[in-house]
């Protein structure tokens, strides 16, 4: 009895002592500190930024992501005592929350009246503080978005500052408001409180004046709190391992059509074995080429290189010999990881020769596997959770090569942080969970296929199904029927071809498809909606941005646009002579590349300083939805007038929607340039196109007089139209070689 009392007295004394420490450390009232101590100890809460919220000058509105039943208790313990908390009905009545409700002022949320605006404005104007708990919805429905409008209106009327708060890790608590299949439960996850600096609505809008309405500015800021709730300085290997900890090491994470399924544990064990071999033949920080298809082996190799602090240079084996040799030399690649079976099956002997011509040696996975001993496997099984080398998120992780759709490819150097930030920016915009299965047919040497199609699932616990070639138009629908993916990434060209060969039930499991790299044609969107009940949400990216820049969502979407800018990004539009209502897009953000490597200065990073010129001409509506008007290089100057070749393609597509078309500009002695249509439509005639153009209200300058009919439009490995090859083809067919 005495021992029990002594233990209890010791626990009480420790509780009081820790409470005193927390009181002075965070500036809390003593009762707040005492009720905060159990949370602090149980969840090892990283709370260093909470003082930003506590010290924010009134009037202020704390906008809190309500992921679990824990947030109200936490915020009542941590926010200033004069804060008025608007609680949901369950939190306002829950018996266990009674001690915490006594710490501050609370009122119950009235769903019928949203907020009593006048009363709350009076509270705030009196130097008050308000805590609003908004549903944890990456894609809020109309009813939820009304809450953002209400908060925005109140903040503007009271000239109040907004402080977003996100408790990272709360979704996995036993008291989470998210279904368990979408957020696996953990009893004592580590929590981290993300708090952003106070800003008024006017200040939020001013950060991106070209693209924000008042409510969207608040919504974007709220998404940033979610983004920065992740530890973006962990490095990719550690971020992937953290995901394994969240969803479980036995969670199936990668599958292909040959090797089967790997869970996180097996994935990391295999990656460590490969990483050891990579260490033996390369140096830390060295660029190591990866020449592999979409299969388990490419993921194992990528993680092995990351673990060993090597830089993965993703070789585009569809780019041709000259481009591959140039890529190897530009990135100073001395070793290229590949597979003999892949090279033989894909008939890539010429690409191997190009690699060797560039000065690199091949490291064959078959030879690596043959050299692995039982001791190697045992060591990897014991140590799979730890990287082989220290991880630094600021260091290069991957080198990608731009598509070269309009010129010579460039080497783009991306850091761990660039790639992780971009994956989490997408996660803060699109609703995904470990319950999803993602079918990725886009090659990993393509930035969209790497970040969205590979890294994003690995750091979020979404199961990844890899298919080796996007060109298998008849097989991929069958694979989708068997794999039952809920998500899919693709390009319009690929998606249109899959739809032509698919049976109605092949894509029945899809929730949505994310499309990028080229504009989605209305016909493609219609087919997937009507036949497969799958929504195509269009996005926009560039390799230099890791790559995603903007994306629509299933709820916040607008057909014909590429969506809204991702959280934490900024943009500005530079006027372009001859183009009204649009401008040249410049970008800034944490996902922007470290810099380029060029063929004239191989191996030397030329850092990006400040804003990046995308070369794209875009327009932006008042809600922030971006419409691509075309590449700056995809505008023709005809008799002094600027004409968008992309707009001409859309016009032609409307007339012959079942066919493929590409529009290019070729030299013209009299008018400077003229437009040529390259098409698979055998029936295409200039007179019919001119008649259709007049009916559509298109200017005569937009209608091509020259039509080149082909069986296929040249396409890059990424799925984009190869405009360099298409223009060359048009010039040859029209006998303009000398003029070009």
- Which residues carry out catalysis? 66
For residue 76, give Cα distances in angstroms to 110, 587, 678: 20, 39, 65
Using the Cα atoms of residue 56, residue 58, residue 59 and residue 62 in order, give the sign of their dihedral.
positive
Number of Cβ atoms within 10 Å of the Cβ of 683: 9
Q: Which of 442, 386, 371, 452 is nearest to 419 (CA)?
A: 452
Strands 437-440 vs 487-490: parallel, antiparallel or unpaired: parallel
Inter-residue contact 490 to 470 (CB < 8 Å): yes
Q: Which of 253, 290, 318, 256 is nearest to 467 (CA)?
A: 256
Whether omega for the bond prior to residue 172 falls within 30 degrees of 0, making it cis, is: no
Inter-residue contact 545 to 587 (CB < 8 Å): yes
Inter-residue contact 565 to 540 (CB < 8 Å): no
Whether omega for the bond prior to residue 547 falls within 30 degrees of 0, making it cis, is: yes
Work out the end-to-end distance of the chain between its first and last CA atoms, rounded to an integer number of angstroms. 98
Q: Got the DSSP string for 395-444?
A: SEEEEEE---TTS---EEEEEHHHHHHHHHHHHTTS---TT-EEEE-S-T
Which residue reads 């824990």 in tokens? 70
Which two tokens mark 683?
């029936």
Q: Got the DSSP string for 470-533?
A: TT-TTHHHHHHHHH--SEEEE-HHHHHHHHHH--TTTTTT-SEEEE-SSPPPHHHHHHHHHHH-
CA gap 155, 129 in Å, rounded? 11
Q: What is the CA radius of gyration of the chain?
A: 28
What region does 91 belong to: left with phi over 0, alpha with psi -120 to 50, or beta?
Answer: alpha
3-state secondary structure 362-383: EEEHHHHHHHCCHHHHHHHHHH
CA gap 373, 423 in Å, rounded? 36
- In angstroms, how far is CA 651 from the centroid of its own chain? 31
- How does DSSP classify residue 454? I
Length of the chain in terms of residues written: 740
Number of Cβ atoms within 10 Å of the Cβ of 572: 15
Which two tokens mark 550?
């903007």
CA gap 12, 15 in Å, rounded? 5
Cα dihedral 290, 293, 294, 299 in deg (nearest 10): -30
Inter-residue contact 139 to 430 (CB < 8 Å): yes
CA gap 73, 54 in Å, rounded? 16
CA gap 516, 403 in Å, rounded? 13
Inter-residue contact 415 to 399 (CB < 8 Å): no
CA gap 719, 498 in Å, rounded? 13
């Amino acid at each position: 009895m005495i021992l029990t009392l002594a233990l209890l007295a010791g626990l009480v004394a420790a509780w009081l002592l820790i409470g005193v420490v927390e009181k002075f450390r965070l500036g809390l009232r003593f009762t707040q500190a005492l009720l905060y101590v159990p949370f602090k100890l149980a969840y090892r809460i990283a709370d260093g930024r909470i003082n930003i919220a506590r010290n924010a000058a009134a009037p202020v509105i704390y906008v809190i992501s309500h992921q679990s039943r824990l947030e109200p208790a936490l915020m009542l313990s941590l926010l200033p005592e004069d804060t008025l908390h608007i609680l949901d009905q369950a939190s306002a009545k829950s018996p266990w929350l009674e001690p915490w409700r006594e710490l501050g002022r609370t009122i119950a949320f009235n769903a019928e009246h949203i907020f009593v605006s006048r009363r709350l404005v009076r509270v705030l104007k009196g130097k008050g503080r308000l805590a609003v708990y908004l549903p944890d919805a990456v894609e809020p429905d109309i009813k939820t978005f009304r809450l953002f409008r209400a908060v925005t209106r109140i903040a503007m009327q009271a000239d109040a500052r907004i402080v977003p708060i996100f408790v990272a890790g709360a979704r996995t608590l036993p008291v989470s408001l998210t279904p368990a299949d979408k957020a696996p439960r953990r009893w004592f996850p580590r929590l981290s409180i993300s708090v952003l600096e106070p800003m008024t609505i006017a200040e939020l809008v001013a950060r991106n004046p070209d693209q924000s309405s008042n409510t969207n500015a608040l919504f974007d800021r709220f998404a940033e709190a979610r983004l920065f709730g992740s530890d973006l300085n962990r490095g990719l290997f550690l971020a992937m391992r953290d995901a394994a900890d969240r969803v479980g090491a036995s969670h199936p994470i990668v599958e292909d059509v040959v090797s089967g399924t790997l869970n996180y544990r097996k994935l990391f064990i295999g990656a460590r074995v490969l990483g050891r071999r990579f260490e033996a033949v390369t140096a830390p920080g060295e660029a190591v080429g990866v020449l592999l298809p979409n299969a388990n082996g490419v993921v194992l190799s990528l993680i092995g290189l990351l673990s060993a602090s090597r830089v993965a240079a993703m070789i585009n084996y569809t780019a041709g010999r000259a481009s591959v040799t140039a890529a190897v030399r530009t990135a100073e690649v001395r070793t290229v990881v590949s597979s003999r079976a892949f090279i033989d099956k894909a008939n890539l002997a010429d690409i191997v020769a190009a690699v060797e011509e560039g000065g690199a040696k091949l490291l064959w996975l078959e030879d690596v596997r043959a050299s692995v001993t039982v001791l190697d496997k045992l060591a990897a099984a014991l140590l799979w959770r730890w990287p082989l080398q220290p991880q630094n998120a600021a260091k290069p992780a991957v080198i990608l090569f731009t598509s070269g759709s309009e010129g010579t490819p460039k080497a783009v150097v991306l850091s761990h942080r660039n790639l992780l930030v971009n994956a989490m920016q997408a996660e803060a915009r699109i609703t995904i969970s470990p319950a999803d299965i993602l079918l990725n047919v886009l090659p990993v040497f393509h930035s969209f296929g790497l970040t969205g199609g590979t890294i994003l699932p690995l750091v979020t616990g979404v199961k990844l199904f890899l298919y080796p070639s996007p060109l298998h138009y008849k097989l991929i629908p069958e694979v989708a029927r068997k794999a039952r993916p809920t998500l899919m990434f693709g390009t319009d060209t690929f998606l249109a071809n899959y739809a032509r060969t698919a049976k109605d039930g092949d894509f029945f499991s899809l929730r949505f498809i994310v499309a990028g790299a080229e504009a989605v044609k209305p016909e493609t969107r219609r087919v997937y909606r009507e036949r497969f009940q799958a929504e195509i949400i269009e996005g926009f990216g560039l390799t230099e941005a890791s790559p995603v820049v903007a994306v629509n969502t299933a709820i916040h979407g607008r057909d014909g646009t590429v969506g809204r800018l991702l959280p934490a990004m900024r943009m500005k539009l530079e006027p372009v002579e001859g183009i009204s209502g649009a401008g040249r897009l410049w970008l800034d953000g944490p996902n922007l590349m470290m810099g380029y490597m060029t063929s004239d200065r191989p191996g030397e990073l030329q850092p990006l300083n400040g804003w990046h010129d995308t070369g794209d001409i875009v327009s932006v509506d008042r809600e922030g939805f971006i419409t691509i008007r075309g590449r700056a290089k995809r505008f023709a100057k005809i008799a002094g007038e600027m004409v968008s070749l992309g707009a001409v393609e859309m016009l032609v597509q409307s007339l012959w929607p079942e066919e493929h078309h590409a529009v290019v500009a070729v030299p013209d002695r009299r008018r400077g340039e003229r437009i040529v249509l390259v098409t698979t439509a055998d029936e295409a005639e200039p007179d019919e196109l001119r008649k259709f153009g007049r009916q559509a209200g298109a200017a005569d300058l937009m209608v091509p007089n020259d039509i080149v009919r082909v069986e296929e439009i040249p396409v890059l490995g990424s799925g984009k139209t190869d405009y360099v090859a298409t223009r060359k083809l048009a010039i040859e067919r029209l006998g303009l070689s000398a003029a070009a």
